[in-house]
Amino acid sequence: AQRVTQPEKLLSVFKGAPVELKCNYSYSGSPELFWYVQYSRQRLQLLLRHISRESIKGFTADLNKGETSFHLKKPFAQEEDSAMYYCALSRGAQKLVFGQGTRLTINP
Amino acid sequence: KAGVTQTPRYLIKTRGQQVTLSCSPISGHRSVSWYQQTPGQGLQFLFEYFSETQRNKGNFPGRFSGRQFSNSRSEMNVSTLELGDSALYLCASSLTGGPTEAFFGQGSRLTVV
């Protein structure tokens, strides 16, 4: 069965420090992987998807099939990055399997 | 263009009652998915509808049901409400339901007392 694990429920870093939010998945096929973000009082929104290999708001994520990981990284955290982050997996249909989420807090 | 709209935003129901939640997808989107979000279980997939047909279903009891209309609007219904059904119910729409990004609504927060 497919599963997404985000080992850190809470992550706190200082402004300007690097950020890495961990995501590991289990899936036997070729998954589509996403990072979603939910800012305070806003709706859940897509941050980035692995197939586009783009950088959004300074965040990048690389799919490592060997380690079955899709960690989200940003070299220099900003206060506006404080939010709830969800890693999600899609197996080709519109059924997203979400991790439990990591609440990221950026301290000034 | 207008985003995904969910109604009502908040509601309180009593155990044993039933509830119907509505979701209007982004214009042109034909796939609508529903998710339940709770502090304990996180975000869990309920079901997905595409062109008025249920295509995928999560691991929820039969008390949870849904439907989609010809204009792609979707409703989900929960019968015989239990305290554990208290949650934020999120709807997401996408163009085709394939491996593409989903656009989420703001959710309907259901409290069962």
Tens of pLDDT, residues B23-50: 999 999 999 999 999 988 899 999 999 9
Chains A and B form CB pairs within 8 A to the count of 58
Which residues does chain B have within 8 Å of residue A46's beta carbon, measured at their own beta carbons? Answer: 101-103
Q: In this model, does residue B98 exceed pLDDT 80?
A: no
Q: In this model, does residue B108 exceed pLDDT 90?
A: yes
Q: How far apart are CA A45 and CA A48, in angstroms?
A: 9
**Chain B: nearest CA to A61, how far in angstroms?**
16
Q: How far apart are CA B111 and CA B86, in angstroms?
A: 5
**Arithmetic mean of pLDDT, B73-82:** 98
For residue B14, what pLDDT is reported? 98
CA end-to-end distance (rounded Å), chain B = 37
For residue B90, what pLDDT is reported? 97
For residue A86, what pLDDT is reported? 96
B43–A contact, CB cutoff 8 A = yes
Which residue of chain A comes nearest to B41, CA vs CA?
A100
**Arithmetic mean of pLDDT, B4-18:** 98
Instruction: Split chain A (108 residues) into runs of 10 and give each run's mean pLDDT.
Output: 92 97 89 92 90 84 90 96 95 80 96
CA end-to-end distance (rounded Å), chain A = 41
Residue A36 tokens read as 């979603």
Option in B33, B56, B104 nearest A43 (CB): B104
For residue B99, what pLDDT is reported? 56
B89–A contact, CB cutoff 8 A = no
A97–B contact, CB cutoff 8 A = yes
**Chain B: nearest CA to A77, how far in angstroms?**
25
Q: How far apart are CA A29 and CA B80, in angstroms?
A: 38
**Chain A: nearest CA to B60, how far in angstroms?**
14
**Arithmetic mean of pLDDT, B58-84:** 96
Under DSSP, the state recorded for A65 is T
Listed residue (A27, A84, A20) closest to B99, CA to CA:
A27
A85–B contact, CB cutoff 8 A = no
* pLDDT confidence bin for B1, thresholds 50/70/90: low
Q: In this model, does residue B52 exceed pLDDT 60?
A: yes
B55–A contact, CB cutoff 8 A = yes
**Arithmetic mean of pLDDT, B99-104:** 78
Give B34-99 as a DSSP string. Answer: EEEEETTTEEEEEEEEETTEEEEE-S--TTEEEEE-TTS-EEEEE-S--GGG-EEEEEEEESSSSS
For residue A79, what pLDDT is reported? 96
Q: Check A99 against B42: CB less than 8 A apart.
A: yes
Listed residue (A23, A8, A28, A20) closest to A63, CA to CA:
A23
Residue A24 tokens read as 């590991």
For residue A93, what pLDDT is reported? 64
